[in-house]
Every structure is written in C-alpha cells, then in structure tokens.
Amino acid sequence: MPPRPVIELVGRDEEVERVSAALGTDGEGGAVLVGGDAGIGKTALVGRLVARAADRRVLVGHCVGEVGTSLPYLPFVEVFAGLDARERALVDDLVEAHPGLVPLVPRLAAGARGDAVRADLVEAVHGALTDLGRRGPVLLVVEDVHWADESTRELLTLLFTRGGPDGVGLLATYRSDDVHRRHPLSAALAVWSRLPGLTRVDLGPLPDAAVGRIVRRGGEALSPRVVDDLVRRAEGNAFFAEELAAAVRSGARDAEDLQRLLLARVDQLTDAAQGVVRVAAVVGRRVPHVLLERVAAVEPAVLRDALRAAVEHHVLEPWGDRGYEFRHALLAEAVLDDLLPHERLQLHRACADALLDDPSLGSEADLARHALASGDRELALTAAVRAGDSARRMGGPAEALAHYEAALGLLGPGPTDPREGHELTLRAAAAANAAGRPMRAAALLRARLATGEPTPYERAALLGGIAFASRMTEERVDRLALTAEALELIDDDAPVGLRVGVLTRRAEALMDSDATTEALEVADEAMALAVEHDLSVDRTDLSSILARLSEVAGDPVESIRRLEGVVAEWRDVPDLALLRAMHVLAGVHYRQGQFDAALAGFERTVAEARRVGLASSVWGSDARSFAVTTAYEMGDWDRALELADDAATSGLSSSALAGVEAAAACVRAARGTATADELLAASRPWWGEDGRIAVQSGSAAVEALGRDGDVDGMLALHDEVVGFLRELWGIGRVAVEVRLAAVALGHLAGAVRGASPARREAGLARADGLREAAEAVWGPGSTLPTPTLEGRAWEARARAEWLRVRWAGGDDIPPEDLVGAWREAVALFEERAEPYEVARSRQRLAEVLAACGDRGATEVLDLARDAARALRARPLLDALDRVDRPAAATGLTAREAEVLALLAEGRSNGEIGRALFISTKTASVHVSNILAKLGVASRGEAVAVARADGLLEG
C-alpha cells in the first residue's frame, strides 16, 4: 500500500479507541462504518488507524466521485492491484484458490475471457479476505462510500452482513452530509444500520480546544483573538478550521476557494429553492418558518417544495418545530456573500419590517442586525441597546458586550444627549468585566474619557472604572493616582453611589500598595455609607476588601469569619461582588494551607459563576485555575485533570482556558505525559494577560526540559520566564524565581556529575548564579512581602539543591550539611502538606543518606515511593529507582527483594514493571542483578535458592 498523506488527527482519541476495539483484536474480525460531514476528520482518523496497524496487513481502496469513473468495484480493484504490486506470489495463490478474483487484478483481468459472474466475484472477495485473515491480521479500508458504485455497495452489504472474517477488520467511511433521501447510498445505509455485527460511529463537531490547536498549527502564528474567531466560525469542523486559518494567513484566494466549495451544494438546487435559501441566509443561521414565509413571499406549495429540496441536499436542516437552520454557519455566510448588494439590502429591510410588525418573530438582536444592514441607524441603535440589556439579564455578558459596542458604534460623533454615551459606556465596561475581558473594559472607559464630553462626576466614574478593570489585568497603571484624581472631582453634592464606588476603588489601591492602615480607614468610610443607603453590591465588595485586610494584618480567622458571613448574607445577589467574596474566601483557605476547604470553595465559586452566567468573568475563570492548582498541590491529581477537562468543554474563552491548562501543566509535567512544547503551546500567547499563566506553564516546562535531559534548553527557558515576569510586573525580582531556581538546580546536579572539567565548571558557576538570585528575592533590600510558608519551603529547597549540585560537582560538602538542608526542606513541605514536593525532597534526602551508608535511607525511600505511586508520578519513580539503597545482609537491595518476591509469583518482567511502577527494562535489570548475586542461571533457580536461604516468606 502506498504511504498515506500525513494528516494530523486532533481531538479524536475516544473515537479512535472505539473504532479500534470494534475492528477486532486477538484474531477476531470486526466491521465499522464511520460517517461525518465533509472536513470533519474521517481521513485523518483513518490515517491514525492505519499508522497504528503495524501488526496488520493494510489494504485501502477509494471510491471516486468524478463523472466517468464509475468503474464497478473500483475500491476493490485498487486494493488487489496494490496487493499484487507488493506481493505477487500471494495474489497468485489467492487467485488459484478463488478464480472469481481475476477481474479485480488488472494484471490478470486483461487476459481473461468471458464476462465476470457477480456471484463468483463477490464470493471470491470474501474467500480471499478469509484466507488473508488466516495468514495474519488484516485491516481493509474503503473510503468515501457515498461515491461508491452499485456493485461496490452490494459487495459491502455482503461483507457487513457476514461480518469480518476472523483476523480481518473492515472499515468504511462516508460523507453523511452528501446523503439525502434520494441518494443511492441511502437505501444501503438503511440496511446496514440494522446489522448487529456492524458498528456505526458518527464523527460530530470537535471541541473548541481541539479546533484551536488545528488553527494554530503550521504557518505564522495567529493572534489569540483571531484564533478565537476562527474557532467560533469553524464550528468543530477540522477542514473548515484549516481553510479559514489558511485564508487568514495567505489572503482571499483560499477564502474564495472555500466559498466555491460551499456554494456547489446550493447550486444543485432548483432556482426556486435557491431563492428561498438566499432569503434564509439573510434571516440568519436559524430561520423561523413564519418569518421565512413572510419575507420569501412565495406560494406555500413552492415554499414547501423548496424547503424539502434544501433539507434533502443538506443545505438546511429542521430546527425543531420552529423552522430551519443551515447545516453550517459558513454555508450561510457563503450564500449571503453571494447576494447582490441591492438584493441583500431589500431582504434585510423586509426582515426588519416584519419584526417591527410582529416582535414575536425574533429578538431585539435580530431587529438590530436587520435594521443596521438596511441602513436604519436610529432603529438599529435602539434595538442594539435593548438587545444588550436583554442579554445581560439572561446572564450573557459577552453577548451583551457585543450589542453595547455595536450601539456605541452607532452613536456617532456628538450624540444629542451626551449622557446616553456615558451610560452606554458604563454598561459596556460592566459587561466586558463580567465576560472576563477587563482590558477591553478599560479601553472603552479610556476612549470615553478622551472625548472631552464627560462631566466631572462622569470623569470620576470613568476613572474609578479604569482602576477596577486594570486591577484584574497585568497592565501597569497607577491606581493610586487614578483614584486620587477621581476623589478630587467629587463634591458634597455627588451621588452617594458614585462616592462609595470611588472610595471602594481607593481602598483597593491602598491595600495593594501595602498601605493597610489607610486602606482600612477608607474602606470603613465607604462601608458606613453603603450600609446607610442600603447599597448591597457595594457592601458585598467592601466586605471582601475588609476581610482581605484582616488577613494581611495577620488575622486569617477573622478574615474567614467575615467572608463566610458575606457569602451567607448575599447568596442571592448574582453579581461579580459575590463571586469575588467567594473567591477571596477560598483564597484565604488556600494561603493558609487548608487545601480541602480551599478546593471546595473554588469549586463552589465555579458553580455559582456558571449558574449566574459569569463563568468567563475574572473571578469565575480564576476560580477554575485555582481549583486545579489546589488539587495539584494537595495531591489529588486525578481531580485536577478532571477539572481541567471539564473546563475544556465548558465554552470558556481562550484566555480563561489557557489559565486552567497552565495550572494542569504541573500535573502533566510531574507525570511525564507531556513535553515542554506541548505544555507551552496553549498558554504562551496569554502570558502577557496573566502572569500566573507564565509562572505555572513556564515552571512546568522548565521541569519537563530538565526531566528530558535538555539542560541547556531548561536554562534558556528559565531565563526567558524570569525576564518576562520581571518586565511584565516592572520589578527587579519576582517570588517565583526561588521555585524556578530550585527546579533548575535539581536538574543541574545530574549534568555536572561526571561531566568534562569545562562543562562541570560552567554548570557550577551557573548553579552559584541561580543560588544568588534565589537568595536575593527576599534578601536585604527586597521590596517583596515576607515569604509565606510556601516561599520558605522553596527557599530551603533551593539551598539544599545548590548544596547537592556542589556535592555532585566534587566539592567537599559535609554530609551533615546536606542531610540537614534536605531534612529542613522535607519538614517545610510536610507542614505545607504538599505530598509531591515532600516525596521529591525525600528522594534527594534518601540519595544523600544512602551515599553516607545511613540505613535510614530505606525508610525514606519507601515513604517517597508510596507517595509517587499514589500520584502516578513516573519521572519521580524512575528517580527513586536510581537511588542505591544500603545493601542488606543478603546482598540484595530492598527493591531487588521486591522483584524477587514477584518472581516467586511467576510474574514476567512486564508484569513486575507494572506492579512496581517501573519500566520493563528496569525490571529486567533488577532480575539480572538478582541472578548474579544469587549465583544462579535462571529465574526458577533463583526462586528455589531464595526459598532455601529463607529470603522469601512462606
């Protein structure tokens, strides 16, 4: 079989496993029919299955749809012609046993006499496949069955009915969107669907995360916003995603090619049906029947026939009992773009008139869209604002933002009522914050501020809004100056809500600047006004600030008490302020090391955010990331990955999803299931919007590079992450430098041990630099807050790792210094209750103890191994296996004794490896060592000697 084109398969792991299982294993046969829309990924799935079929003889045939190629049994001719080219002797044997096969072998068919007998040919194919299955496993693939000739369909019916012969897996694919009611394959599908031995697999749309990977791969990098737009438009179709990305990268040519591809389906319809489809495209992706009927203005019988044809050709699909929808949004776009300008204008005007006459035919958003497209600016403005308000009430902040921004664009210069622009800007900014886009909120507020139209009070509100939004971004903004200016614009006659809002933002800015006393005074003043005037949202927000100030002042118990009261009192206030209180409460638990309470709190925040439609807000998306981080640190790694997987299917924005993936990267690195490139792929574009994404994904990638032995790459990425964060936050040192230094130092030890003199000296010099950088973070002159318990644990770890590097490099480090440093690191991580870091520190401690001949190494190793097994931390388990235990009196190490016990149970090397969470190769090395130490030549002899010497229990 010639090599298949390599098409990367993304997001179909579940379908691949399902198809693989249905195709049969261990000598069984199986039959699978895979359907899906054009471009959904059928060819890529087949490619993955073929690549995995290394132990099978793979036979592939294609059906062809071009006119004039309807050769009977075309895919089977291709199959046997290919087999004949590779294994002529085998084909001769098959033909001798099954003469009816001759017409399918071009080399033999040319000299054959007489007409082929269909029954003989069909039986010959089945018999030949049966013979091939006896010789070894076979995978037979027939692609694009929607183009199959009648003979091929009948032959497939026979094969599917009888089921795959033993050892033969039969796989057929077809394009489901091509198969309408009168399509030739339709009747065959009806028969096949009733066959008990045939497994049908329908490929649905890919999740957004998978489409995003397709859009980003290959060619120049696209901005995150462009990626989000392409993901939305592709609607889960891999081909459309690739074509759209290519169109963006290379210009309009590819976009036009895609449009022609889509319009070809519409061109198959009658003129009347095409006219109805054009009207439907103007109405929208989903088309209420009543509205379509009114705007199309055709006879009911004509409309009925047109819609039937459009549905049968998969241009439109039924939309419940309300109307119809386009098979794909890109198809609707292509039809719309193909309309003449005047035609489009007239149809939009007709839709707007219909919606004005009968609002039940659509929404305010529909009216705004049609009014704008028809040139009625005033109507479009009014409808857009109403649509934004409606979306906000329904818990759709992103949709509300889009409507408000559309309305702002319709205001034009110098609106009749300047307040209209101010209020609309505040609504848009609030929607942007609720949608998790604070940078957009700040931009909208600044744009309004720059017009020169706002009054002093309005300027104060805008400045306070900028202070609020910028606090949730990595933007460098002097919020103390902003809030001071805002307060100067407020006099005694200012609305109380405005005064409370600005005071709240001032208290936040002071708190973030460590001016705790002044922040408390301002917050108390604002709270008194909020209570007096019953401003519930402001009271909730201020309660969070006051609780956080209690924690900063060293009273976390009081902070938790306050916050629990806020959440209980304002549970029915669906606002960002409540989400903030819930998030801050979980954060206090997290910083106190109360991981169970923290995880429950973050998950509760996520659930509440989802319930009120604020899942993508800063507090909602942040809670997801922190929930994953908390689960990782407390050692519940399966839960961490479950939370990450849930986020991937929850419709979050790319930036929010990047934060969750960055948190999950720590688990993937520690389990050794992802490379550094894979860990950085989804997160790097978002480093500038959230420094924590850079911290977590960068740390995980540094770990992965060190784990994989790429020390130079590890050090380069370390420097990149540190430099990026220093620049982003505008400070000389960042706290995460301590952790990054400790990780890098941990991998440097292996690099200097046994290295050439030059490499060793360079490594030691770099280790000294990392140690100095870590010490400077909280050293003399540092402006960073006093380190938390977590910070102190990593400080101790960095110092211990540095001593280990110097020791590995040949320095005469006193053993008691090494042991003491590692015992301190173990103790601090135990206090922090981080099982993984405790286990890693114990692995280092055991290494030192074993080198000193201390029998305590065995107990430390066992504790570390128990934790690593529970976490399924493969790299750590491998590192533990490399630590030499002090030899027992028998000469066997403790690990060798474990292997010996499993040998006595008759386990193979692979089974031993799986039982002890080590590789098969490592298990084999241990078995060889046991045989050598016991002076025997076989595994059975080793067990017998061990029993005789009392080395085995029982």
* Predicted confidence (pLDDT) per residue in 125-166, tens digit: 999 999 999 998 999 999 889 888 777 888 888 888 877 788
How far lies 684's CA from each of 230, 435, 700, in Å? 19, 21, 12
Pairing relation of β-strands 323-326 and 316-319? antiparallel
pLDDT digits (tens, 9 = 90+) for 623-656: 999 999 999 999 999 999 999 888 866 666 777 8
pLDDT digits (tens, 9 = 90+) for 746-763: 999 888 877 788 888 999
Q: Residue 887 has what pLDDT?
A: 47
Position of tokens 């630099």? Answer: 769
CB atoms within 10 A of CB 197: 14
Cα separation of 624 and 620, whole Å? 7
How far lies 276's CA from each of 268, 304, 314, 347, in Å? 14, 10, 14, 11
DSSP strands (E only) in 86-134: none
Residue type, 900: L
SS3 letters for 444-484? HHHHHHCCCCCCHHHHHHHHHHHHHHHHCCCCCCCHHHHHH
pLDDT at 371 > cutoff 70: yes
State the helix-helix crossing angle for 874-881 and 835-851, rounded to 10 degrees.
10
Which three-class secondary structure state does DSSP give residue 316? strand
Pair of tokens at residue 851: 């080198």
Element (H, E) at 106: helix 106-109
Pairing relation of β-strands 286-288 and 323-326? antiparallel
Fill in the DSSP letter of residue 887: P
Dmax (CA) for the chain in angstroms is 108
Cα separation of 761 and 94, whole Å? 68
Pairing relation of β-strands 57-62 and 138-143? parallel
Answer whether 391's CB lies under 8 Å from 366's CB: no
What sign for the dihedral angle of Cα 749, 750, 751, 755? positive
Place 415 in a pLDDT band, splitting at 50, 70 and 90. Answer: very low
Which three-class secondary structure state does DSSP give residue 32? strand
The predicted model scores a pTM of: 0.66
pLDDT at 15 > cutoff 80: yes
pLDDT at 33 > cutoff 90: yes
Place 889 in a pLDDT band, splitting at 50, 70 and 90. Answer: very low
Residue type, 808: A
Position of tokens 């006659």? Answer: 493
pLDDT at 395 > cutoff 70: no
Query: Buried (b) or exposed (e) across 438-468, using 16+ Cβ within 10 A?
Result: bbbbbebbeebbeeebbeebbbbbbbbbbbb
Region of 630 (left: φ > 0; alpha: ψ -120 to 50; beta: rest) is alpha
How far lies 266's CA from each of 205, 281, 345, in Å? 22, 12, 21
How far lies 506's CA from each of 96, 468, 510, 511, 805, in Å? 92, 9, 6, 9, 48
Pair of tokens at residue 664: 């999950």
Q: Residue 891 has what pLDDT?
A: 65
Residue type, 406: A
Element (H, E) at 619: helix 618-634
pLDDT at 574 > cutoff 60: no
Half-sphere exposure in the Cβ direction for 689 (13 Å, CA) = 22
Q: Residue 3 has what pLDDT?
A: 38
pLDDT at 279 > cutoff 60: yes
The residue among 206, 218, 208, 205 whose CA lies nearest residue 245 is: 218
Q: Among 173-177, 411-415, 656-660, 809-813, which is the least confidently predicted range?
A: 411-415
What sign for the dihedral angle of Cα 40, 42, 43, 48? positive
Position of tokens 């009120």? Answer: 612
Place 68 in a pLDDT band, splitting at 50, 70 and 90. Answer: very low
How far, rounded to the nearest angstrom, does the alpha carbon of residue 272 sit from its chain's CA centroid?
44
Place 839 in a pLDDT band, splitting at 50, 70 and 90. Answer: very high
Position of tokens 């019988």? Answer: 301
SS3 letters for 695-706? HHHHHHHHHHHH
**For the chain, how many residues are written?**
954
| Helical H segments across 322-455, by residue range | 329-337, 341-357, 364-374, 377-393, 397-411, 418-434, 438-449
